[in-house]
Amino acid sequence: MKLITQKLVGLLFLAALNPTTALAQTEPKVEYFDISDVRLTRSAFKHAEDMDIQYLLALNPDRLLAPYLKGAGLEPKADNYPNWENTGLDGHIGGHYLSALSFMYAATGNEEIGRRLDYVLSELKRCQDTAGDGYLCGVPDGRKMWKEIEQGNVRAATFGLNDRWVPLYNIHKTYAGLRDAYLVAHREEAKDMLIKLTDWMERTTANLTDEQMQDMLRSEHGGLNETFADVAAITGNKRYLKLAHRFSHEIILNPLLKQEDKLTGIHANTQIPKVIGFKRIADIEKNNEWSKAADFFWQTVVNNRSITIGGNSVYEHFHPADNFESMRTSEQGPETCNTYNMLRLTKLLYATSADAKYMDYYERALFNHILSTQDPVQGGFVYFTPMRSGHYRVYSQPQTSFWCCVGSGLENHARYGEMIYAHKGNDQLYVNLFIPSTLEWGDINIEQSTSFPDEEGTSVTVTSKKGKNKKFTLNIRVPEWVNANELLLTINGKTEKVEISDGYVKINRSWKDGDKLHISMPMHLRAIDMPDHSHNYSFLYGPIVLASRMGTQRQDGMFADDSRGGHIAQGPRLSLQNMPVIVGSTDDILSHISKTDGKMEFTLKGVSPENYEGMKLEPFYRIHESRYMAYWPVLSASEVQKRQEEVARQESIAQALEARTADKVTCGEQQPESDHFVKMEWSETGNDGGVQWRETRQWFSYRMKTNGRKVTAVRIAFRPENNRDARVLIGDTEIGLFATAPNGIIKLPVKSDIIGKSETVTLKIAKGNKNITPHIYEVRLITDNP
């Protein structure tokens, strides 16, 4: 409790700096327990926690630490891990690893995890001590880059900074890891390391103007504003709050302050950590406007841009809120990191509101997305969770896969205990999630026993450590999926009156040792349309999203290798033409579903084609290593034939093009470009109606593969404009100039001697006779024949 007290002192100190600011929505309404006070008991969550321990211990810390030792000029004890860890984002998993170890040690007390935590901290301290100025970073050749920044030489792009792959995002993971090691795992040395690293960043950016800072923040930078605000709270020093403001990206903040949704087309997970920072700063300095901005963002993303599992975005970007077509067709559906960060934002918003609506979202996203992103059989984490019917997920492997969602995945399954309970002082206890667990709360223990969601309710037993009665109010969340009139409450077997206030069943009494409460919460089927109201429905039983297994055929790359694109499920995309649809009216969708008595098993009828009649539904989080379906189109009988014909036509065109494609890059999207080692000079990205683009006043290039095929043309999709043109080069050879083309598609022939037998070529797009290129959407290397 000592560290929590120090943190609160910092909060009070900073609140005094601005006493006239409105206090609404920034004062804590509830407090969270230290995660070490909570222990999971037998459940799917406990199993996921145990699997995560295995994964954490399977990783070699010396390989994760190698980038840091190199950055300090020390000899590494082992080679970098592959994948993102030796291709530019070196060291980012190390920061996540430190956070995950901290949470897991606090959540379980596992001694080996504790020893691993201490070792990683000691090695990082050795690196920082060697640096001598607080520096601690794994960015390749980072000293040179940071020196350029310090001197005012800032060359920022959306996913790059001074020719490095998102170094600010990278170093944020180190900051967050040190913070968690101190606040969560109570490692005192981490506090000193965190402050030294923060002082280093303050000095590095001290001479940058506000304009230069905002320009630099165009580059993805994680939640640096949040961590600097945390340092301000820990130390009580307002200098660090100023630094947090300096790292707050105004181009994202300002529309939110005006309650404007300007999110379409931008990289989703770049923005969510920024908003977490806005809220953290707001809570510290009692800034109601920033708090409202963060809440507006949350409302917009949750209500308008998220699907039923709680996830959002396609190809990592926010698509138009009124068009979820890409969500239904893409193999790159919601990204796990997005939901990881949305839950962190939700935690902050709930703390200052105690509004149960935040917990309704938290529960849905936790059960249906986060829990579903770890393979319960083999272990491993998921990057994309496709909503394309009949597709599948890819799972990481400990020695090959080092994506961002591996980093957040390591943390996710160590954090399950942090939101089950909350309290207000010593007389209000909140039960927010129905997860089997125990809680130590002063002189009493709380045990929650349930097999939820198979059991439609939960039990809470109170045990007094000293045998004395304790008077307090027990608040049980009334979830949005339950009919309050159907709640049944018993205490020690006796039925009690249900009293509901502010979204909670409230039981105020003097609790004695052994008292047992049980609350029955009948669950019901619901059908929820996609937010664009396209008549594509997901089925839920209570908060649980239901889905259907669709076979195990051709799940190519289901267990990822170390390739840059290994996180994407690149196996055959089953034809949507042949996917089942519900034939009928949207008014009676639920009449198509029947439940097996006493089980979380359901049968769906009234489906076309007939071979899918009677398909089985089950909780989505229980489906693994399988193709699946989680959304069903609802069509009238007359619409079914028209849909099948149009889908067949579109898919035939798309499949023909894919068959002729040796390699492709979607321009302006982080992973496709980083997987193809994008380089550039004076280049920008943006979106046209949700479609990403890249343009340049000089050039940009990709390393592309022929994959053993005879490439005969480069196919480019772009927006034709009379005052723009572009040259296309392979290596040093120019193959064509373009400005306009029918439908914005041009194919430039490639002579056989230009590529020859090369497996890898550099494709460059440069400005032509005009000052700037068109918006380039996509480039492909294609062949004459499939």
Three-state SS string over 37-48 comes to: HEEECCCHHHHH
pLDDT-derived band of residue 17, with 50, 70 and 90 as boundaries? very low
pTM: 0.87
Q: Rounded distance, CA 316 to CA 266, Å?
A: 9
Question: Which range, of 63-72, 491-500, 663-672, averages the lowest pLDDT?
Answer: 663-672
pLDDT-derived band of residue 771, with 50, 70 and 90 as boundaries? confident
pLDDT-derived band of residue 721, with 50, 70 and 90 as boundaries? confident
Within 258-403, where are the H helices? 268-285, 288-304, 325-329, 336-351, 356-365
- Provide the pLDDT for residue 4: 37
- Provide the pLDDT for residue 686: 80
Question: What pLDDT, in 10s, does the model give residues 143-173?
Answer: 999 999 999 999 998 889 999 999 999 999 9
Mean per-residue pLDDT, 7-19: 38
Instruction: Tell me the helix, strand and coil percentages in the chain, rounded to 5.
Output: 40, 25, 35
Task: Quote the tokens at residue 707.
Answer: 């994959």
- 10 Å CB burial of residue 512 (0-12, 13-18, 19+) is middle
Q: Rounded distance, CA 19 to CA 326, Å?
A: 47
Mean per-residue pLDDT, 190-194: 98
What stretches of 1-74 adopt beta strand conformation (E)? Answer: 31-32, 38-40
Q: What are phi and psi of 351, to 5 degrees?
A: -60, -35
Place of tokens 């290994």: 566
Mean per-residue pLDDT, 535-564: 96
Place of tokens 């109570």: 186
Cross-strand bridge partners of residue 582: 607, 634
CA distances from 735 to 147, 177, 702, 712, 747 (A): 39, 48, 15, 11, 10
CA distances from 324 to 34, 301, 305, 535 (A): 39, 13, 9, 11
Residue 113, classed as helix, strand or coil, is helix
Residue 12 has pLDDT above 50, yes or no: no
In the chain, the N- to C-terminal Cα span, in Å, equals: 65
Local structure of residue 706 (DSSP, 8 states): -
CB atoms near residue 668 (< 10 Å):
28
Q: Rounded distance, CA 292 to CA 282, Å?
A: 9
Distance of CA 387 to the CA centre of its chain: 16
- Provide the pLDDT for residue 97: 98
Beta carbons of 148 and 211 less than 8 angstroms apart? no
- Provide the pLDDT for residue 689: 65
Strands 581-583 and 632-635 turn out to be parallel
Identity of the amino acid at 297: F
Number of separate helices (H) and strands (E) present in the chain: 21, 35
Q: Which helix (H) or strand (E) holds 607?
A: strand 607-608
CB atoms near residue 533 (< 10 Å):
10
Residue 600 has pLDDT above 50, yes or no: yes
CB atoms near residue 513 (< 10 Å):
16
pLDDT-derived band of residue 14, with 50, 70 and 90 as boundaries? very low
Mean per-residue pLDDT, 635-651: 81
Q: Rounded distance, CA 317 to CA 334, Å?
A: 9
Q: Which helix (H) or strand (E) holds 427?
A: none
Distance of CA 564 to the CA centre of its chain: 19
Look at residues 103, 120, 722, 145 and name the one whose alpha carbon lies nearest to residue 416: 103
Local structure of residue 75 (DSSP, 8 states): P
Q: Rounded distance, CA 347 to CA 279, Å?
A: 11
Question: What pLDDT, in 10s, does the model give residues 254-294?
Answer: 999 999 999 998 999 999 999 999 999 999 999 999 999 99
Residue-wise DSSP of 106-162: HHH--HHHHHHHHHHHHHHHHHHHHHSSS----STTHHHHHHHHHTT---EETTEET
More confident residue, 721 or 91: 91
Residue 558 has pLDDT above 80, yes or no: yes
**Cis peptide before 609, with omega less than 30 degrees from 0?**
yes
Q: Rounded distance, CA 775 to CA 321, Å?
A: 22
Question: What pLDDT, in 10s, does the model give residues 376-433?
Answer: 999 999 999 999 999 999 999 999 999 999 999 999 999 999 999 999 999 999 999 9
- Provide the pLDDT for residue 690: 63
Residue 2 has pLDDT above 80, yes or no: no
Whole-number mean pLDDT of the chain?
93
Residue 3 has pLDDT above 50, yes or no: no
Within 635-758, where are the H helices? 637-659, 670-675, 752-755
Rg (CA), the chain: 27
Look at residues 498, 417, 414, 487 and name the one whose alpha carbon lies nearest to residue 457: 487
Question: What pLDDT, in 10s, does the model give residues 329-379?
Answer: 999 999 999 999 999 999 999 999 999 999 999 999 999 999 999 999 999
Mean per-residue pLDDT, 450-474: 95
Task: Quote the tokens at residue 734.
Answer: 């120019």
Residue 22 has pLDDT above 70, yes or no: no
- Provide the pLDDT for residue 20: 34
Mean per-residue pLDDT, 85-98: 97
Residue 779 has pLDDT above 80, yes or no: yes
Task: Quote the tokens at residue 289.
Answer: 């406007």
Residue-wise DSSP of 738-757: ES--GGGEEEEE--HHHHTT
pLDDT-derived band of residue 688, with 50, 70 and 90 as boundaries? confident
